[in-house]
């Protein structure tokens, strides 16, 4: 369908991408070079790709960082008459199209047998006051506190639920944002210990944390003097809703958030190579110019993706 043609290449399922790269790697050098030349547009990059252990996977990653789409890949393969790898992609798109494999609708079930209608229910008669006015019986009192479940009595800030995203995000990504308990985040950062601080910006401090055996980066939002608490909360909620929708090789994945204890935190995947500023100014191994150009291209690809996300999502 047209929707699948507009999907970004980096959203291809791993089995589909693996089979496509396997078929492409088995092509003759001439056919493969024709494909790589159309994608990379630079003979130096083509020669570099040929030296990679997984040459097609390397080319597809480069194309994915430029926000290449599935429809563009199919059109290119057809123009080069590379029909076998094209069929790998087409098989996936046809399988994802519900109309191609939906079974015929079942016949409607027979109507249930008609049962004799029960006798009409008589409304209880309200008692009358001495002056002739009608007064209804009072409602029952609320149940005692002892009858409430523990979940109902649990404070909102200590709950750890999965908060559903807006309908558009759920339909496109089928994901949800995890709300981590504040106590768990507090313990994972050792009480937001300065020894675990790995970065600081205008809106918060970033700590390294261990949550459920996984290394994470926890950004603790600081109160900004230009915002009141309601504005800060709205900004925090917007950031959670927006970042939870985006998946891109050059954008760090948002794993969840935490709120409680007077602080709000965003939880991201941990990057072993630390911040870019550390690599540029504090690292012992200086980045080469090709590496710097690659970083700039990756950041530009992420910005382009945020300004032109997939269909159904609003630009950031």
Does 167 lie in the same domain as 277? Answer: yes
Residue 221 and residue 69: Cα distance in Å, rounded? 36
CA distances from residue 155 to 106, 151, 159 in whole angstroms, order as listed: 47, 9, 7
- State mean pLDDT over 271-295: 79
Would residue 106 count as lying in a domain? Answer: no
Q: Is 301 part of a structural domain of the chain?
A: no
Considering the domain boundaries, does residue 220 fall inside one?
yes
Last residue of a domain, one of 98, 120, 146: 98
The whole-angstrom separation of Cα 71 and Cα 75 is: 6
Q: Is residue 14 part of a domain?
A: yes
Q: Are residues 174 and 86 in the same domain?
A: no
Same domain, 203 and 90: no
Do residues 84 and 181 share a domain? Answer: no
Q: Packing angle between helix 43-50 and helix 55-65, nearest 10 degrees?
A: 140
Q: Are residues 167 and 272 in the same domain?
A: yes
Determine if residue 262 is left, alpha or beta; phi over 0 gives left, psi from -120 to 50 gives alpha, anything else beta.
Answer: left
Residue 268 within a domain: yes
For residues 91 and 203, membership in a common domain is answered with no
* Sequential DSSP letters for the chain: -HHHHTSBGGGS-HHHHHHHHHHHHTS-HHHHHHHHHHHH--HHHHHHHHTSTTHHHHHHHHHHHTT-BHHHHHHHHHHTT-HHHHHHHHHHHHHH-HHHHPPPPPPPPPPPPPPPPPPPPPPPPPPB-TTS-B-PPPPPPPPPGGGS-HHHHS-GGG---EEEPPHHHHHHH--EEEE--HHHHHHHTTTT-GGGEEEE-SSEEEEEEEETTEEEEEEEEPPPTTS-HHHHHHHHHHHHHHHTT---TTSPPEEEEEEETTEEEEEEEPPTT--HHIIIII-SSPPPHHHHHHHHHHHHHHHHHHHS-STTS---
Confidence of residue 77 (pLDDT cuts 50, 70, 90): very high
Pairwise CA distance, residues 173 & 21, whole Å: 24
| Residue 103 belongs to a domain | no
Q: Is residue 312 scored above 70 in pLDDT? A: no
What pTM does this model have? 0.45
Q: In the block, which residue shows the tokens 């949800």?
A: 176
Q: Which residues are annotated as a binding site?
A: 219
Are 275 and 169 members of one domain? Answer: yes
Band of pLDDT at residue 131, cut at 50, 70 and 90: very low
pLDDT band at 111 (very low <50, low <70, confident <90, very high): low
Is residue 251 in some structural domain?
yes
CATH number at residue 90: 1.10.533.10
pLDDT of 224: 58
The rounded percent of the chain whose pLDDT value lies above 70 is 69
* Packing angle of the helix pair 14-25, 55-65 (nearest 10 deg): 130
What φ, ψ does residue 163 adopt, rounded to 5°? -90, 120
The model's pLDDT over 34-52, given as tens digits with 9 standing for 90+, comes to 999 999 988 888 998 998 8
Domain that holds residue 7: 2-98
Of 71, 98, 125, the one marking the end of a domain is 98
The arithmetic mean of pLDDT across residues 196-201, rounded, is: 87
- When pLDDT is cut at 50, 70 and 90, the band that residue 195 belongs to is very high
Confirm whether 157 is domain-assigned: no
In the block, tokens 């050792």 appear at 190
Pick out the residues of the known binding site for ATP. Answer: 219
The number of distinct structural domains making up the chain is 2
Write the CATH number for 277: 3.30.200.20
């Amino acid at each position: 369908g047209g929707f699948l043609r507009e999907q970004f290449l980096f959203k291809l399922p791993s089995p589909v991408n693996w089979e496509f790269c396997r078929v492409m790697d088995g092509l003759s050098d001439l056919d493969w070079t024709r494909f790589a030349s159309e994608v990379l547009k630079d003979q130096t990059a083509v020669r570099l790709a040929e030296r990679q252990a997984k040459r097609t996977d390397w080319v597809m990653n480069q194309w994915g960082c430029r926000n290449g789409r599935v429809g563009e890949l199919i059109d290119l393969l057809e123009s080069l008459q590379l029909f076998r790898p094209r069929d790998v992609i087409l098989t996936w798109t046809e399988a994802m199209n519900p109309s191609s494999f939906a079974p015929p609708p079942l016949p409607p079930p027979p109507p249930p047998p008609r049962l004799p209608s029960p006798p009409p229910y008589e409304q209880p008669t309200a008692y009358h006051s001495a002056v002739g006015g009608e007064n209804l019986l009072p409602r029952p009192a609320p149940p005692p506190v002892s009858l409430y479940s523990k979940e109902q009595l649990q404070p909102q800030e200590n709950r750890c639920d999965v908060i559903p995203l807006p309908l558009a995000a759920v339909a496109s990504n089928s994901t949800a944002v995890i709300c981590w308990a504040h106590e768990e985040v507090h313990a994972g950062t050792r009480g937001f210990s300065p020894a675990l601080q790995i970065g600081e910006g205008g809106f918060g401090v970033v700590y390294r944390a261990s949550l459920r055996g996984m290394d994470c980066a926890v950004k603790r939002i600081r109160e900004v003097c230009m915002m009141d608490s309601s504005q800060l909360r709205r900004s925090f909620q917007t950031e959670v809703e927006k970042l939870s929708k985006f998946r891109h090789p050059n954008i760090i994945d948002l794993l969840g958030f935490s709120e409680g204890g007077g602080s709000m935190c965003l939880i991201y995947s941990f990057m072993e190579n630390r911040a870019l500023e550390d690599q540029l100014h504090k690292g012992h191994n200086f980045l080469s110019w090709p590496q710097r150009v690659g970083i700039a291209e990756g950041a530009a690809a992420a910005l382009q993706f945020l300004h032109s996300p997939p269909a159904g999502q609003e630009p950031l």
